[in-house]
Amino acid sequence: MPFAFVDWRVSQRSRDLTIDTPHAEGSPVFNGTAQASADSDFTVKVDVEGLEEGKVYYYAFYAGAARSNVGRFRVPVASKTHVKELNYAVFSCSNWGWGYFNAYDAASNLDLDFWMHLGDFIYEYGPEDHYPSPV
């Protein structure tokens, strides 16, 4: 069965995400290797322990010579913790054949606490159906 090793790295500073750059004192870097295979649709899931609540982190994945874009996330605060403000984006029913994903691009430029995706187009239509249909 084919598989690939995927290296990952998480840090509070985006500049710490290059493989050759050692991290600075006080900026912990979490890293490891995961295996992607057909059993996981060639995706990896990483549960990183030791991250601080409410802090922003950056991440990147590496496979051979390929490197992902740098991503950003904020660790949620503990449940029942009062938050003054919560900023999030809601998306639903994306269909590549009927539009572009400008909303995702716009949301990526906002300081959001999380994104919520409510659905997908893969379940909407049978093999003979299509959208939009003639009237």
Q: What is the C-alpha to C-alpha distance for residues 113 and 96, in angstroms, rounded to an integer?
A: 25
Q: Strand, helix or coil at 10?
A: strand
Q: What is the C-alpha to C-alpha distance for residues 33 and 105, in angstroms, rounded to an integer?
A: 29
Under 8 Å CB-to-CB from 88, ≥6 apart: which residues?
Answer: 112, 113, 114, 115, 116
pLDDT tens digits for 17-72? 775 555 555 566 899 999 999 898 888 999 999 999 989 999 999 998 888 988 88
Task: Characterize the bridge pairing of strands 114-117 and 88-91.
Answer: parallel
Read off φ and ψ for residue 108, nearest 5 degrees.
-65, -15
pLDDT tens digits for 94-133? 766 666 778 888 998 998 988 898 876 555 565 566 655 5
